[in-house]
Amino acid sequence: DAMVIQNPRYQVTQFGKPVTLSCSQTLNHNVMYWYQQKSSQAPKLLFHYYDKDFNNEADTPDNFQSRRPNTSFCFLDIRSPGLGDAAMYLCATSSPRTGTYEQYFGPGTRLTVT
């Protein structure tokens, strides 16, 4: 089944220790998104790639970076995680070019910062 896969599902890191979360998709969608979701809140968009073009949200901290080496993979790097970065991180894809405007979400990675 075509899908969005996120690894790991649970990640524990220490305060200030860099961490990378990964996302892959088999949908061949050209847009990939990273969201941060805290408990009982709406997902907050961090950035997205439209093809290779990176689009950062104005309020995304510099601590958060992303890489998209190819269509299928996208990474979220948190350079120096703080306690406030503990959250669920969601990857999503869409393909507006082919009329697929809805976003398909992965299961998320729950990040704990100790």
Partner 1 sequence: AQSVSQHNHHVILSEAASLELGCNYSYGGTVNLFWYVQYPGQHLQLLLKYFSGDPLVKGIKGFEAEFIKSKFSFNLRKPSVQWSDTAEYFCAVYGGATNKLIFGTGTLLAVQP
CB of residue 52 vs partner 1: minimum separation in angstroms? Answer: 14
**Which of 73, 88 has the CB closer to partner 1?**
88
Distance, C-alpha 43 to centroid of its chain: 11
**Which of 42, 83 has the CB closer to partner 1?**
42
Footprint on this chain of partner 1 (rule: CB under 8 A): 31, 33, 40-43, 45, 48, 50, 55, 90, 92, 94, 96, 101-108
CB of residue 55 vs partner 1: minimum separation in angstroms? Answer: 8
**Which of 48, 85 has the CB closer to partner 1?**
48
CB of residue 77 vs partner 1: minimum separation in angstroms? Answer: 21
